[in-house]
Structure 1
Amino acid sequence: MARRERTPNTALASLMREGRIENAQLARAVNRLGKESGVPLHYDKSSVSHWLKGSMPKSEARPAIVEALSQLLRRPVTSSDAGLGNAAEPSSSADVVSGLIDLGKEDMDPSRRAVLSAGLYSALLIVPHYDDLAGRYHATAAGRTARIGMSDVATVRAMTEKIADILDDLGGGHARPMAASFLVNSVQNYLRADGTEETQKAMRSAAADLVYLTGWMAMYERHQRLGQRYYVKALELAGEGADHITYCRTLRGMALQASHLGYGNKALELADSAAEAAPAAGPRLVAFLRGQQAHGAAMVNDRRQAFRRLEETERALSRADGRNDAVGGYDRAAYEFHVAHVLWELGDRPGSVKALRRSNRYRPVQERQGRVHANGLLATRLLGMRHVEESCEVWSRFLDDYAGISSARGDEHFATLRNGLRPYQKLAVVRELSARVQDVARLKVA
């Protein structure tokens, strides 16, 4: 039987020529993005050669290839552009409420969670400007039998604060499904109900806060594309609700997501956009935004700007009143956490560790999930500096909290703990901690 000839992928070849992208360079970018989305990929330059000759990569790798090309070319590229067929993209509805509910229903469906989680974060996402969103809302619900009042708005805000409390205490694995369920089963009805224009805008503002929190939880649970999609919906709702603060807070959340994934330029761009969009922000929000700008500046090695932004953060925080919002709040613990990130990015490891310790001292006792992440990060950095005994002490505190929460970020730290201690098993303190690690692992499986 004659072997079927493959048709060379001229579209992919054209894109690679345009960006002067080498085979090995594309393979590395695809592998990095696969790891980022939880899909292990192990391609090399010969793999890319096969694609160019007409071999079709496996379906789960194609989104990573398209995103890698987009990032390397610094412009959006579609699956079709790259000769990889037509890929279905998440639905984007002109009706923000319909789009949000579709997203919430997908998030609630266990059979869809794996698909949602595997979606790739887009570093080239175009963020809608506040001024383009603010005038978009029009009252369209007149004549409907259901009618909302300010008490319904208060219900959404109260539920958002309760979910935030559950997040702090029990982790995003428990809190996010509750948020998605509340969005689908209750909030959608409020958003489609009749009411005064003032009430409907207030409801969109309240919903934006909840959607921002849901996106933050998805990001924290390492569902990066899902988190990004929730964030965009939060921006749209905030614009329609004339809620400038939640719009800026969401942009800052998007900057945090970009920084966590290592996109320094994007992180700084989003942090700057958030700050520019908040000319009349109060001192706590200013501190919230400036701290993220400091981190972004450090990621691109702009030492002068990073320290200037930290100074502005501290000054703004010193002027803030005593009330710290449950959603998107900012306090001394968060400030020291930003200091730690800045110092680490700029090469001051001991200074970063000291700042993380200060952050933990300031952290409220009820913020268990935040403490799990902070202690996991501190212990990892101490271990990397070969301060093994100090690291074990912090890991022990990490286990105190981790045993009682459901958190993908916590799971990530736990895996680091188990792998990181292996070279030091001769030390008594490590053997003692390892025995406890096994107990916690059994507890998590049970």
Structure 2
Amino acid sequence: MANHARTPNEGLERLLAQAEWSRSQFALVINRMGTEVGLTLHYDQSAVSHWVGGTVPKPSVRRLIVEALSRKLRRTVTHAEAGLPRAAEDNIPADLGTVEEIVDLGRADMDPSRRGLVVAAGLFSATLAVPSFADPARAADAHPVTPGKRTVRIGAGQVAAVRKMTDKIADILDELGGAHARPMAAAFLVNTVVPWLRADATDAVRKDIWAAASDLVYLTGWMAMYERDHGTAQSYYVKALKLASRAEDHVTYCRTLRGMSLQASNLGYGSLALKFADSAAEAAPKTGPRLQAFLTGQQAHATAMVGDHRRARRLLAATEAALMKADNRRESIGGYDQSSYAFHVSHVLYESRDLPGSIKALQQALKVQPPNERQGRVHFYGVLAQRQLEYGHLEAACESWTRFLEDYEHVSSARGDEHFDVMRLRLKPFRNSQAVRGMSTRITKIAMLKA
């Protein structure tokens, strides 16, 4: 008879040590919590020893285990952290599942050494099932996320704090790059926002806090995308869709779909990019012209990728018309402006094989770009230089790459690193030219600083 050795549950053992519970004490806690949900349990020290040894308790008890540890440690403990599976038959409310997934993702971002351990991350999926926007009746009937008593109550002040922090993180992203801003966003999500999602609140405040959290999760996914961590970005985006649906927040739901379209287009999946972009535009509520431009601009880019240039031009015209109606308010998330529009024009022209027109549009995008968007300039100049070199204008490309280096030196961004690597590779055949020799010392210096 085969001996099937179980794998010890190191996660549960570690959490019990952090909680300073003996196995007998933990068994008593689980029995007591069972009465809260109508279960009569009679566990003892031996049962907990079996769990630590690798035996998987039944689904209803798994929930009690993570809830007991969450209360004791005063933070959200997830099934994954406790070494417990969370399958469909566990009957966990969707809200709680989403919160747990956000915690697991966020903790991995706070500690980069753990990123490879997060099952939810993985690789980018071109066949991802996108959660639909819940109808209001179903969202209103959603389960509370935490069983038992809640001791924390939140109000409008906590909602305002999440939105203000999201704006500040977006500013840091623009100025210093995603490598600095993303861990901050993840830490704020895990340590502050998630406990507020589990707190007591009025129905209106609860809806507002989930909407505010959705914006922050979307922004964190956006940063992961530009750090080339595409599987993680996609996971964040799906969580943002679920949060937006829970909050009945159509705007963030559509904005997130648009972000997923941009990610797909960056990876060369034109049809998928168009599917997400069209879905975002179709699901959008009647709203202001700036959001309309934000959505149709990406539609134009994705449409051009699949070769429908006539429709792409119509969408660009609609984007320009909407932007002309927009006010001067600058949003930190989805802040579509004339620079963003010109960048989309450049993409559409490039897909139409109009390289000179694409270069001209990129130059216009840089001309009207806000001065504080250093990370954006890094990307714009990196793309411009590549297209100028493709057109055969080496000196113009070197000038653009020189401008790229001026900002890249101060930005920590995987997207910037990729542009830097491409620059060095593309300039190798021209290393003896005067324009490239003039850049070589600075390139070497920055390479040493970034190593």
1:203 correspondence with 2:203: no
Gaps of 5+ in 1: 1-88
1:143 Cα deviation (Å)?
Answer: 4.5
Q: Indicate the residue corresponding to 1:111 in structure 2.
A: 113
Q: What is the distance in 2 between the residues matched to 1:143 and 1:243?
A: 28
Q: Indicate the residue corresponding to 1:135 in structure 2.
A: 138
Corresponding residue to 2:344 among 338, 344, 350 = 338
Alignment of 1:50-65 (within 5 A): none
Corresponding residue to 1:428 among 428, 431, 434 = 434
Q: What is the distance in 2 between the residues matched to 1:123 and 1:311?
A: 29
1:327 Cα deviation (Å)?
Answer: 1.1
1:347 correspondence with 2:349: no
Closer/same/farther in 2, CA of residues 374 and 355 from structure 1, 3 Å limit: same
Q: Indicate the residue corresponding to 1:394 in structure 2.
A: 400
Closer/same/farther in 2, CA of residues 134 and 321 from structure 1, 3 Å limit: farther
Q: Comparing 420-429 with 392-401, which one deviates more in the overlay?
A: 420-429
Q: Indicate the residue corresponding to 2:367 in structure 1.
A: 361
Q: Indicate the residue corresponding to 2:423 in structure 1.
A: 417
Q: Indicate the residue corresponding to 1:407 in structure 2.
A: 413
Q: Indicate the residue corresponding to 2:382 in structure 1.
A: 376
Q: Comparing 228-237 with 122-131, which one deviates more in the overlay?
A: 122-131
1:119 Cα deviation (Å)?
Answer: 2.3
1:114 Cα deviation (Å)?
Answer: 4.1
1:122 correspondence with 2:125: yes
What secondary structure sits across from 1:135 in the alignment? helix
Q: What is the distance in 2 between the residues matched to 1:230 and 1:363?
A: 28
Aligned pair count?
A: 358
Q: What is the distance in 2 between the residues matched to 1:444 and 1:392?
A: 20
1:396 Cα deviation (Å)?
Answer: 0.5
* Conserved? CA contact 2:250–2:285, under 8 Å: no
Corresponding residue to 1:154 among 128, 141, 160 = 160
Q: Indicate the residue corresponding to 1:73 in structure 2.
A: none
Alignment of 1:56-75 (within 5 A): none
Q: What is the distance in 1 between the residues matched to 2:361 and 2:226?
A: 22
1:115 Cα deviation (Å)?
Answer: 5.2
| TM-score, normalisation: structure 1 | 0.77
1:132 Cα deviation (Å)?
Answer: 5.1
1:387-442 Cα offsets, whole Å, 9 max, x none, are 10000100010000000010000000000111111111221111011121011112
| TM-score, normalisation: structure 2 | 0.76
1:68-126 Cα offsets, whole Å, 9 max, x none, are xxxxxxxxxxxxxxxxxxxxx99897322122112212222222224569821111111
1:244-295 Cα offsets, whole Å, 9 max, x none, are 1000000000000010001101100100000000131210000000001101
Q: Indicate the residue corresponding to 2:57 in structure 1.
A: none
Max Rg structure:
2
Q: What is the distance in 1 between the residues matched to 2:386 and 2:87?
A: 39
Q: Indicate the residue corresponding to 2:175 in structure 1.
A: 169
Q: What is the distance in 2 between the residues matched to 1:391 and 1:150?
A: 51
1:322 correspondence with 2:328: yes
Closer/same/farther in 2, CA of residues 271 and 386 from structure 1, 3 Å limit: same
Matched AA of 2:163: R
1:20-71 Cα offsets, whole Å, 9 max, x none, are xxxxxxxxxxxxxxxxxxxxxxxxxxxxxxxxxxxxxxxxxxxxxxxxxxxx
Closer/same/farther in 2, CA of residues 118 and 143 from structure 1, 3 Å limit: closer
Q: Indicate the residue corresponding to 1:385 in structure 2.
A: 391
1:193 correspondence with 2:199: yes
Q: What is the distance in 1 between the residues matched to 2:373 and 2:138?
A: 38
Corresponding residue to 1:231 among 227, 233, 237 = 237
1:441 correspondence with 2:444: no
Displaced runs of 4+ in structure 1, greater than 6 A?
A: 89-93
Q: Indicate the residue corresponding to 1:102 in structure 2.
A: 104
* Conserved? CA contact 1:231–1:250, under 8 Å: yes
Matched AA of 2:138: G
Q: What is the distance in 2 between the residues matched to 1:134 and 1:238?
A: 15
Matched AA of 2:301: H
Gaps of 5+ in 2: 1-84
1:149 Cα deviation (Å)?
Answer: 0.5
Closer/same/farther in 2, CA of residues 177 and 287 from structure 1, 3 Å limit: same
Q: Indicate the residue corresponding to 1:75 in structure 2.
A: none
Corresponding residue to 1:304 among 305, 310, 313 = 310
* Conserved? CA contact 1:107–1:180, under 8 Å: yes
Aligned CA RMSD, in angstroms, stands at 2.0
1:354-398 Cα offsets, whole Å, 9 max, x none, are 000000011100000011000001011111222100001000100
Q: Indicate the residue corresponding to 1:60 in structure 2.
A: none
Q: What is the distance in 2 between the residues matched to 1:148 and 1:373?
A: 40
